[in-house]
Structure 1
């Protein structure tokens, strides 16, 4: 509820005195005070009506009982209080209570233009106040004190309200400051987030541009490589054309040389015929003279035949070697255990190997081609062979292309291929033997002469692939080292390798040889297939002695080729195994050689557990490498 300002109907200042209009009173307080005052006046007048105009009588002095002409105390207005600067609240309240006193008994507070009723009320009031006496003065004084208390209470309430409003304003200012601070922090956070977001966008854009630039560089590199490869291909084709033209010219020159040689040979043949004819004529002339010496010549021939048959019958070594044994071995008197057919085949294969080697030497001396690069390509692809179908197809295709490459003499590529394939056994062959055997079959089916070169490499590296065995004798070998070298031991850093290392290599060679024997590929012919494997097994058991080295070779062959031999020959293969178990193992046990104990147990386990019924490890090529799957 708002504050109502009341103004007295009198001048605000009279003779230097200021009236108090009481601006801080509330409407309800004024009404209640007026009602109380009217009730008191009615009681004091004895029920007589009051005049509308009332005069304030002089207040009696309580000391001497005389009427005092001093007016009642009036409080200074709030406007004047606001102008005064006071240091404390007590002095302010005291100053407000001690105002100027003035007499209102004879002061007309009404306006000059007031009605007659107001004048009558003032006259009646004055008369009443004159009659009241001491009681009315006390009553008025009490009323005045009550009014002062009410005013003071109202004033205190106003001060409290002002303090509350001031505190509320301060709190609102503090809250507003905190809100502004929060807003500023929020803005700062937003600016920081915006900077981070812009930085991320810049980084992403930079990485994208870098990737695009890298892609462009890769594309340009690929394009450069393609252009370079095209140029190299064109250059290679041009070189190939030039070499082909040179080869044709060489072939033409060779044909002309052969034609000339044929003519020369024909002339020489004619000359030989003429010489033979002349010799016949001369022979007819001396026929009579020779008839006398015919009997002596026949006697001499019979004596020579008898002496030759005596030497063969008395020398056991010649019987073991057979009529087709090499002259060098026969002249050296080395004791060799082998079948005659096996030795003859070995001699033929070594002869072809020797011819190819001599031809390659002549080609290397008379050719300017980079033959070593082809040899390195063959060696690298052979070493990369693994037991997977993808690798097998890739390496087989590459090797066939290199062998049939017209830029490289085929004899050189064949010899290098055979040497590299067989040399794999010096490291470790394992399950890759079947993949190597498949590649050998594919290459040799297209170049048949390569099979003889590969088998010759086998025979040079391991005598048991023939099969044959050389016995030691002091008359044939000067030292044990010479004998070890003859049967296949290798010399490293001036020392002969150990027997264990030698037997491991024998096992590796026989594993690869057996894998070659049992390999069958649709669309390709194996020139040394199961038929040759069966013949090898028969020659081995018929001619070779029982020793730890021969036992190792037999076990390696059976483990790899036994599965396919049993599928082809069935009961015949079982009979062979019975012979091995009954005769070969019995003889091996009688040797009582500690080195043979392990191989005896392995052969017995192979036969008794029927391992030949199971596919050997690596027989089926893997679809992919396990490392690629991981």
Structure 2
């Protein structure tokens, strides 16, 4: 038995190449599969299937015909047997020619199929080896494709992770750059702030040097002016002292040009200017009947004003509330303006009758009344004339004025009524009670005069008080009533006058000490010793240097509270307070 050398057919196109791709591998695998030879069958087809013309012998088929008609049923058996033996011949030539003529059919005679063709053992082994080799190649290609796909997926994942790391690194670098930028800007701001601070400090130092030079120059100029003013003041003081001495010599004279006494036998001590002002105010006051509060139409309005004033206490809240109520009551809506002003003045001055004037609390109450009167008259200016007219009516020393009876016949009930005596239990008021009322009215008048609120003008302020004091000393005689009135005025307004006028006020006190008090002492028993001692103690103890009790509350608390309220009312109304007459 001879052995044949076998060699496996291995496609050279599958040799590995250094620059292969996935597409090249797939192409090579498909090409190798297509080139592999088809398997050869082990058995050869029989000889009868390979040659000969199949159309040489015709196919014969016999068919027996059956007659189902009733007539044929009666046919004899012989005829039936003859028909059965007779056959019909069919030829397939036409059919075959039809197949030959058709171009759509495949000619099977060119590739005969042999089912049982015999082959040699070597060919069979070679066929099996080729099949195994083909399957092995397919398996290798399939495994290589899967490994390449896995590598491709891994490469994609590595690329994605690398890109993510790169993006994260870029973000971290951006954050670091941002922090560095913020730190850099902060350093720049700190350096700039230090530079500006140095520039500002240098500027302040230069400004201080310039201001110091200006102050030094101003101090030199001020010293020169002060020396000059001191010299001029000494000359003026000497001149004023001489004028004051000359004016005090005529203190008991009457300057009543064009003024007549209301009753015969009565001498009027007053200044003509003061009498003219009193006459004008009394005429305005008398336009409204004195008994207007008794009418049914205005009695309720009068009680409302009196009730509001009766609630007044020397506290900030009370003063604020009462002033607001009275300003609202005087707006002229519920009552005519003139009648409202008259009722307000009557009720405000009558507080002397309703309160205990001998009590120590009357002083703080008088200051509270002064601030209420200022706040109301600042919004209703016409009310001040009615207040002053009411003051002059109840106390002539608020003018200032004094009526002196020249004889006993003139000292009748009308005279006492004119000077301010009132009836008590259908009897004339006692002198002691009269002096108590005089002191109370003058205190209330002085409290109103000395009241000051920063930023709020006073229609009858300290300037009028200074005039009153000068006219009082120049025209009124030194008697018990005038002594009590002067002491009451100085006790309430002396501190404010001293703060404003200083040395000029001291000259007034000097006139009182050298002229007024000696004139009181010359009258002997006609003047009460208490009147002289009270004035002398006021001067000796320098009471004018001490702030009166109750004034501090109004001065330092109300000045802020009511200025804000007044500004608010002015802002909301859009205009400043004006007179009702306008």
Normalised by the size of structure 1, how large is the TM-score? 0.45
- Asked which structure has the greater RCO (Cα within 8 Å, sep 6+), the reply is 2
